[in-house]
Amino acid sequence: FFNQTCHILDSDRETLASSNGKFAQYLLKILEVYFNYHHDAYSTKGVYLHDPTAMLAAINPSLITYVEGAVRVQTNGITRGLTLLYNKQKRFAEITEWSDQPSVKVAVTVDAPAVLKLVLERLME
């Protein structure tokens, strides 16, 4: 799963370390704890790019594909924090407890190589 998401790998760290970009060296310093955490907690060799991906989705929406539907989040019990999507596009005019909920766009795919390329380019400027 990790390889299918937006992330900076250890090999990307080497690219950033060799850069003269004004943000590359700073980012490497502040991400050290994050890299160590992911390695220790999940045995991964990289960190996720959640925030930069969200920012790039706002700047260039073509990097993401979306579905539209109602979203609810469980607030208690063993499934607390679980996010549920009722995809209204696949329903046949049925009336349910979801019908009167507002629709939102939910990201379902991302062009991860393009996001990584953009992030690295900006950091190395």
50 has catalytic annotation: yes
- Contacts (Cβ under 8 Å, ≥6 apart) of 109: 64, 65
Whose CA is closest to 98, among 89, 110, 109?
89
Quote the Cα angle for 10-18-64, to 5°.
55
Annotated catalytic residues are 50
